[in-house]
Structure 1
Amino acid sequence: MSRSYKGDVSAEACWSALQSDPQSFLIDVRTSAEWNFVGFPMVPENGQDALFAEWQTYPTMAVDPRFAERVGAAVRAAGGSEGSKLYFLCRSGARSMSSAAAMTAAGFTDCFNVLDGFEGPPDADGHRGQVAGWKAAGLPWRQK
């Protein structure tokens, strides 16, 4: 099965790309509840600010029908374009695949899914953030 976006990258590869290309964007597509209660990723100092856009809106978890329009406008407002590298991040890598595909369908050519997302899969005790993903990789993040 072929994917409908550019590719999948590890959290570490995403961080490296954000460091080396200050015109690339990290787009966190989790819910506002996740940003507020779980935490959110930080980006390299020389890069673009992370963009935060819910793919699905809590609590109904309905997909935002204007997602691509809103994210496209935010990327352009920050000086990006349809050729900018966009890295999509969710909790574990599923919503980010869908959002990367949606942005590719909207004409953005370099959309990537961050494998394992912000928290990754649960460990043997059912806790996230220890096995894989942004937090487990030791990349910078904050909690409000």
Structure 2
Amino acid sequence: MGLSAFPAISEVSPQEAWDILEREPTTRLIDVRTRAEWGFVGVPDIGELNQETIFVEWASYPHMSANPQFGAEVLKALNGDIPDKLLFLCRSGVRSLHAAHAVADVLSGCGRPVQCINIAEGFEGDLDRKGQRGQLNGWKLRGLAWRQS
């Protein structure tokens, strides 16, 4: 099924995502990267906003197999408290876009439309001319709070 079959997903920059989390404390941040990425690259630290990031893998390392239980795991992590907005973060904004579509589809199918928003640039940002991340854009490069996990 193509992405066009899913509800529309908007995108924001990492800074705009931070601003939304700061202004709207019921909004939740879902990091869909792998456990390896969380452990070796770091995680967003939204503690100063009195928030905690939700961590659910969209795909598992090393095979990067899609997580067939992703939607259910997100709902479980929300513990029945489904906010009006969910922000999705991955390394560069690609996996998180797919994850946002999947969750929007699940919630829409349950009669609970939620604004699912992809964080463009992701945690590490786009590849530069040398094929490296972390030099052009992304959550970390924009100076937003993060920590090693």
* TM, length-normalised to structure 2: 0.87
Structure-2 separation of matches of 1:54 and 1:24:
19
Alignment of 1:1-144 (within 5 A): 4-76=7-79, 80-81=81-82, 83-107=83-107, 108-144=113-149
Q: After TM superposition, where is structure 1 displaced by more than 4 Å over at least 4 residues in a row?
A: none
* Cα deviation 1:19-59 (Å, max 9, x = unaligned): 11111111000000000011111115234310000000111
**Given that residues 119 and 128 in structure 1 are in contact (C-alpha distance below 8 angstroms), is that contact kept between their aligned partners in structure 2?**
yes
Equivalent residue letter for 1:136 = L
Alpha-carbon separation, structure 2, partners of 1:140 and 1:127: 21
Counterpart code for 2:130: D
State how far apart, in whole Å, the 1-side matches of 2:139 and 2:77 are: 23
**Root-mean-square deviation over aligned CA pairs:** 1.7
Identify the range of structure 1 (90-99 vs 115-124) with the bigger mean alpha-carbon deviation: 115-124
User: How far apart are the structure 1 equivalents of 2:34 and 2:9?
Assistant: 24
Percent identity between matched residues is: 44
Aligned partners of 1:68 and 1:8: how far apart in 2? Answer: 19
One-letter amino acid of the structure 1 residue matched with residue 134 of structure 2: G
Deviations 1:75-133 (A, max 9, x none): 135xx31x431100000000000000000001142100000100111223332112111
Deviation at 1:5, TM superposition (A): 3.6
For residues 22 and 9 of structure 1, the distance between their equivalents in structure 2, rounded to whole angstroms, comes to 17
Give the number of aligned pairs. Answer: 141
Matching residue's letter, 2:114: T
Once residues 113 and 59 of structure 1 are traced to their aligned partners in structure 2, the CA distance between those partners, rounded to angstroms, is 24
